[in-house]
Amino acid sequence: LTIGQYWLDFSSIDCFSSDTLTFDVLEPGTLRSDGVLLSIVSPVWVDVKDTVPIVASFKNIGEKSVEAQFKGKISNDQNKIIQVIESEKISVPISEVTNFTFYFTPQKSGRYIASGRVFYDKKRTFESSAVINARAKV
């Protein structure tokens, strides 16, 4: 394999199990970069036209600092993209957690999904998401 990040889908029929894993192929002596998108958090219930925060938390679990950037979207329950969300690149030191904060103002009642992943050092995390339910003001 060439140097880079790889994704592996596997399943075990006998165990009724399947999963996706990621691994790296590195040059000898290279410090490993690794990170995890811990969560995407937002209020579950909001009122229409209220501006709500969406916070994505990323942890650098590698052996060197990385430049990390969150890229994602907010979709409605018909899977139509309502808003693209993207951060600036941020330097994340080893073992540190960085929060990427975005704001969303639902214009109609309904269910919205904020989803995305963090890109860092030519790699990416698994995708994560959060549900936002917007209701009409009473």
For residue 129, which of 87, 74, 78 has the smallest C-alpha distance?
A: 74
Q: pLDDT digits over 70-105, tens only? A: 999 999 999 999 999 999 999 999 999 999 999 999
Which pairing describes strands 52-60 and 35-41: parallel, antiparallel, or unpaired? antiparallel
CA distance 94 to 98: 11
pLDDT category of residue 17 using cuts at 50, 70 and 90: confident
User: Taking a C-beta distance cutoff of 8 angstroms, is the pair 27, 15 a contact?
Assistant: no
Average pLDDT taken over every residue of the chain: 93
Q: Give the amino acid at 45.
A: W
Beta bridge partners of 25: 4
Radius of gyration of the chain (CA): 18
